[in-house]
Structures are given as C-alpha cells and as structure tokens.
Amino acid sequence: MDRQNLQVRLQEMVADALQVPASDVPETLAFGEIPQWDSMGHMTVIMVLEERFGLDIDAGMIASLTSIPAMCDYLQDKVNGS
C-alpha cells in the first residue's frame, strides 16, 4: 500500500477511534491537537490501530505513535520487515 492510501486509512481510523468527523482529522494530526486525542483517546487509537492492522504493539512503542505520520512510518516499516 502506498503512503497516501495508508495515510487516508489512518485518518479514517483515527476519526472512527476518536468519534470525530473525518474532516477534523488532517493528515498531520497529532496527540493533543484536538480535545478527543487525550491520553484516554490515545489508548483507543492504539487499540483500533492494532485491531484494524492486525498488530500487537508493545508498550514502549505506544508512546512514539502519537501522530498520523508516526503511525504511517511505523506501518510502512512493518510492511517492509523492519
């Protein structure tokens, strides 16, 4: 999957996880930039990310996945076997 399609999927996933309109989720959205993406919202985002992409994200990685670009990088690294 190319990066642009992946970003769109992540935007939709974050919007669903945070229960906000997709129009409130720009491709660069990060933790804390909207009220719904607080610490509890972040855990919801991570749980939905794991579910939708079939991942098991370790606790150390959770703290670094705080933006759509960071999640996109992480998923691309996973696909490429890193």
pLDDT in tens, 71-80: 999 999 987 7
pLDDT higher at 7 or 81: 7
pLDDT for 1 equals 72
Segments making up each domain of the chain, as ranges:
3-79
As a 3-state breakdown, the chain gives helix, strand, coil percent values, each rounded to 5, of: 60, 0, 35
pLDDT above 60: residue 69: yes
Tokens of 17: 């996880």
Architecture of domain 3-79: Orthogonal Bundle (1.10)
Confidence grade of residue 82 (pLDDT, cut at 50, 70, 90): low
Span 52-65, average pLDDT: 95
